[in-house]
Amino acid sequence: MSVSSARAVALAVIAGARQRDAWSHELMSAALTRRTDLTRQDAAFATRLAYGTLQTLGVLDEVIDSHVPRPQDIQPKVRDILQLAVYELLFARTSSHVVVHQGVEAVKKATPYAAGFANAVLRKIAEDAPTFPWGDPAADDTALARATGHPRWLVDALLEQYERDVVTEMLHADNEPAPLYVAHNPFAGTFDDLRDALLADGASPEPTPLEGCIRCRDAAAAVTGTALSSGLCIVVDAGAQLVARMASVPPGDIAVDIGAGRGGKTLLVQAASGGKGNVIAVDVHDYKAQVLAARMRELQVPGVRAVVADATDVRALREAIGTSEAQAVLVDAPCSGLGTLRRAPEKRWRLEREDLAKLATLGRELLAAVSTLVRPGGVVVYSTCTVLAMENEDVVRAFLGSTPGRGFEVCDVGEHVPDAWSGFRTGEGFFQSVPTVDGPDGHFAAVLRRQTTSR
Protein backbone atom coordinates (compact mmCIF):
# COMPACT_ATOMS: atom_id res chain seq x y z
CA MET A 1 0.00 0.00 0.00
CA SER A 2 1.56 3.31 -1.07
CA VAL A 3 1.05 6.58 0.77
CA SER A 4 -2.08 8.32 -0.52
CA SER A 5 -1.63 11.51 -2.53
CA ALA A 6 -3.60 13.53 0.03
CA ARG A 7 -1.39 12.35 2.89
CA ALA A 8 1.75 13.08 0.87
CA VAL A 9 0.61 16.66 0.33
CA ALA A 10 -0.33 17.05 4.00
CA LEU A 11 3.09 15.76 5.07
CA ALA A 12 4.81 18.26 2.76
CA VAL A 13 2.88 21.12 4.37
CA ILE A 14 3.59 19.87 7.91
CA ALA A 15 7.31 19.54 7.12
CA GLY A 16 7.40 22.99 5.51
CA ALA A 17 5.77 24.61 8.53
CA ARG A 18 8.42 22.97 10.76
CA GLN A 19 11.45 23.66 8.58
CA ARG A 20 10.73 27.24 7.54
CA ASP A 21 8.44 28.43 10.33
CA ALA A 22 6.11 29.31 7.46
CA TRP A 23 2.34 29.79 7.51
CA SER A 24 0.40 26.72 6.48
CA HIS A 25 -2.06 28.53 4.21
CA GLU A 26 0.76 29.68 1.94
CA LEU A 27 2.35 26.23 1.98
CA MET A 28 -0.95 24.51 1.20
CA SER A 29 -1.73 26.87 -1.64
CA ALA A 30 1.69 26.23 -3.19
CA ALA A 31 1.39 22.46 -2.70
CA LEU A 32 -2.05 22.25 -4.32
CA THR A 33 -0.86 24.40 -7.22
CA ARG A 34 1.95 21.90 -7.88
CA ARG A 35 -0.27 18.83 -7.54
CA THR A 36 -2.70 19.30 -10.40
CA ASP A 37 -3.42 15.55 -10.35
CA LEU A 38 -5.39 15.78 -7.09
CA THR A 39 -9.15 15.52 -7.20
CA ARG A 40 -11.20 18.13 -5.36
CA GLN A 41 -11.95 15.53 -2.68
CA ASP A 42 -8.25 14.69 -2.26
CA ALA A 43 -7.34 18.37 -2.02
CA ALA A 44 -9.99 18.89 0.67
CA PHE A 45 -8.76 15.81 2.56
CA ALA A 46 -5.13 16.96 2.37
CA THR A 47 -6.12 20.38 3.68
CA ARG A 48 -8.08 18.89 6.55
CA LEU A 49 -5.20 16.60 7.52
CA ALA A 50 -2.51 19.28 7.36
CA TYR A 51 -4.47 21.98 9.17
CA GLY A 52 -5.83 19.54 11.74
CA THR A 53 -2.36 18.22 12.51
CA LEU A 54 -0.90 21.72 12.92
CA GLN A 55 -3.85 22.83 15.07
CA THR A 56 -3.36 19.95 17.51
CA LEU A 57 0.44 19.68 17.26
CA GLY A 58 1.28 20.06 20.93
CA VAL A 59 -1.22 17.40 21.96
CA LEU A 60 0.09 15.05 19.27
CA ASP A 61 3.66 15.49 20.51
CA GLU A 62 2.55 14.90 24.09
CA VAL A 63 0.93 11.62 23.08
CA ILE A 64 3.85 10.49 20.91
CA ASP A 65 6.41 11.30 23.60
CA SER A 66 4.42 9.40 26.26
CA HIS A 67 4.62 6.23 24.13
CA VAL A 68 8.36 6.43 23.31
CA PRO A 69 11.29 5.74 25.67
CA ARG A 70 13.57 8.37 24.10
CA PRO A 71 11.40 10.93 22.27
CA GLN A 72 14.38 13.21 21.70
CA ASP A 73 15.82 10.60 19.32
CA ILE A 74 12.90 10.70 16.87
CA GLN A 75 14.05 12.16 13.58
CA PRO A 76 12.07 15.24 12.45
CA LYS A 77 10.82 13.54 9.27
CA VAL A 78 9.61 10.57 11.26
CA ARG A 79 7.93 12.81 13.83
CA ASP A 80 6.06 14.62 11.04
CA ILE A 81 4.63 11.28 9.91
CA LEU A 82 3.77 10.19 13.44
CA GLN A 83 2.03 13.52 14.10
CA LEU A 84 -0.16 13.11 11.04
CA ALA A 85 -1.00 9.51 11.91
CA VAL A 86 -1.82 10.31 15.53
CA TYR A 87 -4.05 13.18 14.40
CA GLU A 88 -5.98 10.71 12.28
CA LEU A 89 -6.26 8.27 15.19
CA LEU A 90 -7.33 10.75 17.87
CA PHE A 91 -9.15 13.54 16.06
CA ALA A 92 -10.17 12.38 12.58
CA ARG A 93 -11.09 8.93 13.92
CA THR A 94 -9.75 7.21 10.81
CA SER A 95 -9.63 3.42 10.92
CA SER A 96 -6.58 2.36 12.95
CA HIS A 97 -5.76 -0.30 10.33
CA VAL A 98 -5.54 2.34 7.59
CA VAL A 99 -3.63 4.81 9.76
CA VAL A 100 -0.97 2.33 10.88
CA HIS A 101 -0.37 1.03 7.37
CA GLN A 102 -0.22 4.52 5.85
CA GLY A 103 2.09 5.76 8.60
CA VAL A 104 4.48 2.83 8.26
CA GLU A 105 4.55 3.16 4.47
CA ALA A 106 5.40 6.85 4.78
CA VAL A 107 8.23 6.10 7.22
CA LYS A 108 9.57 3.35 4.92
CA LYS A 109 9.83 5.91 2.16
CA ALA A 110 11.41 8.63 4.32
CA THR A 111 13.58 6.63 6.76
CA PRO A 112 13.35 2.88 6.02
CA TYR A 113 15.14 1.64 9.13
CA ALA A 114 12.57 3.38 11.40
CA ALA A 115 9.56 1.54 9.96
CA GLY A 116 9.47 -1.08 12.72
CA PHE A 117 9.68 1.62 15.38
CA ALA A 118 6.81 3.57 13.78
CA ASN A 119 4.71 0.42 13.54
CA ALA A 120 5.14 -0.35 17.24
CA VAL A 121 4.43 3.22 18.38
CA LEU A 122 1.34 3.65 16.24
CA ARG A 123 -0.10 0.30 17.34
CA LYS A 124 0.32 1.30 21.00
CA ILE A 125 -1.37 4.66 20.44
CA ALA A 126 -4.16 3.00 18.44
CA GLU A 127 -4.88 0.76 21.43
CA ASP A 128 -5.27 3.81 23.70
CA ALA A 129 -7.15 5.98 21.18
CA PRO A 130 -10.71 4.86 22.04
CA THR A 131 -10.50 6.48 25.51
CA PHE A 132 -8.95 9.78 24.32
CA PRO A 133 -8.79 12.48 25.78
CA TRP A 134 -8.29 10.32 28.89
CA GLY A 135 -10.53 12.39 31.14
CA ASP A 136 -13.83 14.27 31.15
CA PRO A 137 -13.52 17.61 29.25
CA ALA A 138 -16.57 18.90 31.10
CA ALA A 139 -14.70 18.78 34.41
CA ASP A 140 -11.02 18.11 33.66
CA ASP A 141 -9.12 21.12 32.25
CA THR A 142 -6.30 18.98 30.88
CA ALA A 143 -8.79 16.74 29.09
CA LEU A 144 -10.52 19.82 27.67
CA ALA A 145 -7.20 21.13 26.34
CA ARG A 146 -6.37 17.73 24.83
CA ALA A 147 -9.80 17.17 23.31
CA THR A 148 -9.73 20.53 21.52
CA GLY A 149 -6.02 20.59 20.67
CA HIS A 150 -5.03 23.69 22.65
CA PRO A 151 -2.14 24.51 24.99
CA ARG A 152 -3.14 24.05 28.62
CA TRP A 153 -1.97 27.59 29.52
CA LEU A 154 -4.39 29.04 26.99
CA VAL A 155 -7.31 27.00 28.29
CA ASP A 156 -6.45 28.15 31.82
CA ALA A 157 -6.31 31.80 30.73
CA LEU A 158 -9.70 31.56 29.01
CA LEU A 159 -11.31 29.82 31.97
CA GLU A 160 -10.09 32.62 34.25
CA GLN A 161 -12.20 35.06 32.23
CA TYR A 162 -15.14 33.18 30.69
CA GLU A 163 -17.67 30.56 31.74
CA ARG A 164 -16.75 26.99 30.88
CA ASP A 165 -19.47 26.55 28.26
CA VAL A 166 -18.32 29.70 26.47
CA VAL A 167 -14.70 28.55 26.54
CA THR A 168 -15.64 25.11 25.26
CA GLU A 169 -17.52 26.62 22.33
CA MET A 170 -14.59 28.91 21.53
CA LEU A 171 -12.13 26.01 21.58
CA HIS A 172 -14.28 23.90 19.27
CA ALA A 173 -14.79 26.88 16.95
CA ASP A 174 -11.01 27.28 16.68
CA ASN A 175 -10.86 23.88 14.96
CA GLU A 176 -13.57 24.56 12.38
CA PRO A 177 -13.28 26.52 9.12
CA ALA A 178 -13.99 30.20 9.62
CA PRO A 179 -17.21 31.49 8.06
CA LEU A 180 -16.62 33.67 5.01
CA TYR A 181 -17.95 37.21 5.34
CA VAL A 182 -17.62 39.87 2.66
CA ALA A 183 -18.00 43.63 2.98
CA HIS A 184 -19.69 45.69 0.31
CA ASN A 185 -17.43 48.15 -1.51
CA PRO A 186 -19.83 51.01 -2.36
CA PHE A 187 -17.21 52.65 -4.57
CA ALA A 188 -17.38 49.80 -7.11
CA GLY A 189 -21.15 49.30 -7.31
CA THR A 190 -24.42 49.10 -5.41
CA PHE A 191 -25.31 46.58 -2.75
CA ASP A 192 -27.82 45.06 -5.16
CA ASP A 193 -24.99 44.65 -7.69
CA LEU A 194 -22.99 42.77 -5.06
CA ARG A 195 -25.84 40.50 -4.05
CA ASP A 196 -26.67 39.68 -7.67
CA ALA A 197 -23.00 38.92 -8.43
CA LEU A 198 -22.68 36.60 -5.43
CA LEU A 199 -25.85 34.76 -6.45
CA ALA A 200 -24.50 34.36 -9.99
CA ASP A 201 -21.20 33.10 -8.56
CA GLY A 202 -23.05 30.39 -6.62
CA ALA A 203 -21.73 31.77 -3.31
CA SER A 204 -25.05 31.27 -1.48
CA PRO A 205 -25.07 34.76 0.09
CA GLU A 206 -26.99 35.36 3.31
CA PRO A 207 -27.73 38.65 5.10
CA THR A 208 -26.17 39.38 8.49
CA PRO A 209 -27.20 41.76 11.29
CA LEU A 210 -24.60 44.25 10.01
CA GLU A 211 -25.49 46.51 7.10
CA GLY A 212 -23.29 45.90 4.07
CA CYS A 213 -22.00 42.58 5.45
CA ILE A 214 -22.86 39.27 3.75
CA ARG A 215 -22.15 35.69 4.82
CA CYS A 216 -21.22 33.40 1.91
CA ARG A 217 -22.20 29.81 2.60
CA ASP A 218 -20.17 28.54 -0.37
CA ALA A 219 -16.78 30.03 0.40
CA ALA A 220 -15.00 28.36 -2.52
CA ALA A 221 -17.46 29.83 -5.01
CA ALA A 222 -17.15 33.27 -3.41
CA VAL A 223 -13.35 33.48 -3.46
CA THR A 224 -13.16 32.44 -7.11
CA GLY A 225 -16.17 34.47 -8.24
CA THR A 226 -16.68 37.75 -10.03
CA ALA A 227 -17.99 39.66 -7.01
CA LEU A 228 -14.54 39.62 -5.44
CA SER A 229 -12.51 39.88 -8.63
CA SER A 230 -14.50 42.91 -9.76
CA GLY A 231 -13.97 44.68 -6.43
CA LEU A 232 -17.64 44.78 -5.46
CA CYS A 233 -16.62 43.37 -2.09
CA ILE A 234 -13.62 42.43 0.01
CA VAL A 235 -13.22 39.56 2.45
CA VAL A 236 -13.37 40.87 6.03
CA ASP A 237 -14.66 39.12 9.13
CA ALA A 238 -17.97 40.48 10.37
CA GLY A 239 -16.50 41.56 13.70
CA ALA A 240 -13.73 43.49 11.98
CA GLN A 241 -16.29 45.20 9.75
CA LEU A 242 -18.15 46.47 12.78
CA VAL A 243 -14.97 47.78 14.41
CA ALA A 244 -14.02 49.78 11.31
CA ARG A 245 -17.40 51.54 11.31
CA MET A 246 -16.64 52.96 14.75
CA ALA A 247 -13.98 55.21 13.19
CA SER A 248 -16.17 56.90 10.58
CA VAL A 249 -15.96 60.70 10.33
CA PRO A 250 -18.17 63.49 8.91
CA PRO A 251 -17.42 64.84 5.41
CA GLY A 252 -14.10 66.67 5.25
CA ASP A 253 -12.84 65.40 8.61
CA ILE A 254 -9.69 63.34 9.12
CA ALA A 255 -9.60 59.67 10.06
CA VAL A 256 -6.33 57.86 10.70
CA ASP A 257 -5.96 54.08 10.34
CA ILE A 258 -2.96 52.85 12.35
CA GLY A 259 -1.54 49.46 11.32
CA ALA A 260 -3.54 49.59 8.11
CA GLY A 261 -1.94 46.58 6.40
CA ARG A 262 -3.64 45.94 3.05
CA GLY A 263 -6.38 48.44 3.77
CA GLY A 264 -9.44 46.35 4.52
CA LYS A 265 -10.49 48.53 7.44
CA THR A 266 -9.28 51.64 5.58
CA LEU A 267 -11.87 51.02 2.86
CA LEU A 268 -14.59 50.44 5.44
CA VAL A 269 -13.75 53.60 7.39
CA GLN A 270 -14.11 55.63 4.20
CA ALA A 271 -17.27 53.75 3.19
CA ALA A 272 -18.85 54.50 6.58
CA SER A 273 -17.87 58.14 6.07
CA GLY A 274 -19.82 58.24 2.81
CA GLY A 275 -16.61 58.47 0.79
CA LYS A 276 -16.06 62.05 1.91
CA GLY A 277 -13.59 61.68 4.76
CA ASN A 278 -9.87 62.32 4.53
CA VAL A 279 -8.39 58.96 5.50
CA ILE A 280 -4.70 58.57 6.31
CA ALA A 281 -3.53 54.95 6.38
CA VAL A 282 -0.37 54.30 8.40
CA ASP A 283 1.90 51.26 8.33
CA VAL A 284 5.42 50.76 9.60
CA HIS A 285 6.49 48.97 6.39
CA ASP A 286 7.00 50.93 3.18
CA TYR A 287 6.06 48.03 0.91
CA LYS A 288 2.75 47.56 2.75
CA ALA A 289 1.92 51.24 2.33
CA GLN A 290 2.63 50.91 -1.39
CA VAL A 291 0.42 47.82 -1.64
CA LEU A 292 -2.36 49.62 0.23
CA ALA A 293 -2.19 52.67 -2.03
CA ALA A 294 -2.36 50.49 -5.15
CA ARG A 295 -5.24 48.48 -3.72
CA MET A 296 -7.24 51.59 -2.89
CA ARG A 297 -6.83 52.76 -6.49
CA GLU A 298 -7.87 49.35 -7.78
CA LEU A 299 -10.94 49.32 -5.52
CA GLN A 300 -11.78 52.91 -6.50
CA VAL A 301 -11.63 54.17 -2.90
CA PRO A 302 -11.31 57.98 -2.83
CA GLY A 303 -9.66 60.22 -0.28
CA VAL A 304 -7.01 57.83 1.08
CA ARG A 305 -3.37 58.74 1.67
CA ALA A 306 -0.87 56.02 2.66
CA VAL A 307 2.10 56.98 4.87
CA VAL A 308 4.93 55.11 6.55
CA ALA A 309 5.64 55.60 10.25
CA ASP A 310 6.38 53.80 13.50
CA ALA A 311 3.18 54.52 15.39
CA THR A 312 4.91 54.25 18.78
CA ASP A 313 7.24 57.16 17.88
CA VAL A 314 5.16 60.26 18.63
CA ARG A 315 7.37 62.72 16.77
CA ALA A 316 7.76 60.57 13.64
CA LEU A 317 4.07 59.73 13.65
CA ARG A 318 2.92 63.34 13.86
CA GLU A 319 5.38 64.39 11.15
CA ALA A 320 4.11 61.64 8.84
CA ILE A 321 0.46 62.41 9.50
CA GLY A 322 0.96 66.17 9.26
CA THR A 323 -1.81 67.03 11.73
CA SER A 324 -2.98 66.61 15.29
CA GLU A 325 -6.58 67.43 14.39
CA ALA A 326 -7.95 63.95 13.51
CA GLN A 327 -11.59 63.30 14.32
CA ALA A 328 -11.01 59.55 14.59
CA VAL A 329 -7.99 57.30 14.94
CA LEU A 330 -8.40 53.55 14.49
CA VAL A 331 -5.67 51.52 16.18
CA ASP A 332 -5.46 47.98 14.84
CA ALA A 333 -3.06 46.93 17.58
CA PRO A 334 -0.61 44.03 17.24
CA CYS A 335 -1.97 41.22 19.39
CA SER A 336 -1.85 37.48 20.02
CA GLY A 337 -4.66 36.83 17.53
CA LEU A 338 -6.43 34.49 19.95
CA GLY A 339 -9.76 35.47 18.43
CA THR A 340 -8.70 34.27 14.98
CA LEU A 341 -6.89 31.00 15.69
CA ARG A 342 -9.04 29.08 13.20
CA ARG A 343 -7.44 31.18 10.45
CA ALA A 344 -3.87 30.26 11.46
CA PRO A 345 -3.69 26.54 12.36
CA GLU A 346 -0.16 26.60 13.75
CA LYS A 347 -0.38 29.85 15.70
CA ARG A 348 -1.61 28.50 19.04
CA TRP A 349 1.57 26.43 19.43
CA ARG A 350 3.89 29.30 18.52
CA LEU A 351 2.55 31.57 21.25
CA GLU A 352 3.69 31.63 24.87
CA ARG A 353 1.80 33.22 27.74
CA GLU A 354 4.74 35.59 28.22
CA ASP A 355 4.07 37.00 24.74
CA LEU A 356 0.77 38.48 25.92
CA ALA A 357 2.45 40.81 28.42
CA LYS A 358 4.80 42.13 25.71
CA LEU A 359 1.90 42.74 23.34
CA ALA A 360 -0.07 44.50 26.06
CA THR A 361 2.88 46.82 26.68
CA LEU A 362 3.02 47.61 22.97
CA GLY A 363 -0.70 48.33 23.00
CA ARG A 364 -0.28 50.85 25.80
CA GLU A 365 2.58 52.54 23.93
CA LEU A 366 0.48 52.78 20.79
CA LEU A 367 -2.46 54.31 22.63
CA ALA A 368 -0.24 56.89 24.29
CA ALA A 369 1.28 57.88 20.93
CA VAL A 370 -1.85 58.00 18.77
CA SER A 371 -3.83 59.90 21.40
CA THR A 372 -1.76 62.96 20.46
CA LEU A 373 -3.35 62.96 16.97
CA VAL A 374 -6.93 63.46 18.17
CA ARG A 375 -8.57 66.85 18.54
CA PRO A 376 -10.99 67.61 21.41
CA GLY A 377 -14.23 65.75 20.79
CA GLY A 378 -12.47 63.24 18.55
CA VAL A 379 -12.13 59.52 19.27
CA VAL A 380 -9.54 56.78 19.40
CA VAL A 381 -10.86 53.33 18.52
CA TYR A 382 -8.58 50.73 20.08
CA SER A 383 -9.07 47.32 18.48
CA THR A 384 -7.57 43.84 18.58
CA CYS A 385 -8.48 40.38 17.32
CA THR A 386 -7.99 38.69 20.66
CA VAL A 387 -10.27 37.68 23.53
CA LEU A 388 -8.22 38.14 26.70
CA ALA A 389 -8.59 41.16 28.97
CA MET A 390 -4.82 41.43 29.38
CA GLU A 391 -4.54 42.71 25.80
CA ASN A 392 -7.89 44.49 25.75
CA GLU A 393 -9.69 46.00 28.75
CA ASP A 394 -6.54 46.08 30.87
CA VAL A 395 -4.68 48.04 28.19
CA VAL A 396 -7.51 50.58 27.92
CA ARG A 397 -7.79 50.97 31.70
CA ALA A 398 -4.03 51.50 31.99
CA PHE A 399 -4.15 54.15 29.28
CA LEU A 400 -7.06 55.99 30.91
CA GLY A 401 -5.13 56.05 34.18
CA SER A 402 -1.98 57.43 32.56
CA THR A 403 -1.02 61.01 31.84
CA PRO A 404 -1.74 60.77 28.06
CA GLY A 405 -5.13 59.20 28.78
CA ARG A 406 -6.43 61.58 31.43
CA GLY A 407 -8.32 63.68 28.92
CA PHE A 408 -10.19 60.69 27.47
CA GLU A 409 -13.39 58.91 28.45
CA VAL A 410 -15.06 55.68 27.35
CA CYS A 411 -17.94 55.99 24.86
CA ASP A 412 -20.37 53.08 24.91
CA VAL A 413 -20.22 51.16 21.61
CA GLY A 414 -23.96 50.47 21.79
CA GLU A 415 -24.90 52.81 18.95
CA HIS A 416 -22.70 50.78 16.59
CA VAL A 417 -23.71 47.26 17.64
CA PRO A 418 -26.76 45.60 16.02
CA ASP A 419 -29.39 44.30 18.42
CA ALA A 420 -28.64 40.72 17.37
CA TRP A 421 -25.09 41.18 18.66
CA SER A 422 -25.99 42.93 21.91
CA GLY A 423 -24.37 40.05 23.80
CA PHE A 424 -21.02 41.28 22.50
CA ARG A 425 -21.33 44.56 24.47
CA THR A 426 -19.50 44.47 27.79
CA GLY A 427 -20.58 46.13 31.01
CA GLU A 428 -17.96 48.82 30.50
CA GLY A 429 -19.28 49.73 27.07
CA PHE A 430 -16.67 47.87 25.03
CA PHE A 431 -17.22 45.47 22.13
CA GLN A 432 -15.98 41.89 22.58
CA SER A 433 -17.04 39.12 20.23
CA VAL A 434 -15.85 35.56 20.75
CA PRO A 435 -15.40 32.87 18.10
CA THR A 436 -18.35 30.56 17.53
CA VAL A 437 -18.66 27.76 14.99
CA ASP A 438 -21.09 29.71 12.83
CA GLY A 439 -20.31 33.30 13.80
CA PRO A 440 -17.67 36.04 13.65
CA ASP A 441 -14.15 35.86 15.01
CA GLY A 442 -13.11 37.27 18.36
CA HIS A 443 -12.66 41.04 18.14
CA PHE A 444 -12.35 43.76 20.76
CA ALA A 445 -12.94 47.49 20.40
CA ALA A 446 -13.05 50.43 22.77
CA VAL A 447 -14.12 53.92 21.69
CA LEU A 448 -12.29 56.60 23.69
CA ARG A 449 -13.30 60.23 23.27
CA ARG A 450 -11.02 63.18 23.99
CA GLN A 451 -12.98 65.54 26.21
CA THR A 452 -13.46 69.10 25.12
CA THR A 453 -12.48 70.28 28.60
CA SER A 454 -9.99 68.72 30.97
CA ARG A 455 -11.18 66.79 34.01
Is 385 noted as a catalytic residue in this protein? yes
Q: What angle do CA 394, 395, 398 make, to 5 degrees?
A: 85
Q: What angle do CA 365, 367, 368 make, to 5 degrees?
A: 65
Instruction: Catalytic residue, from 213, 335, 385, 411: name it.
Output: 385
Catalytic residues: 385
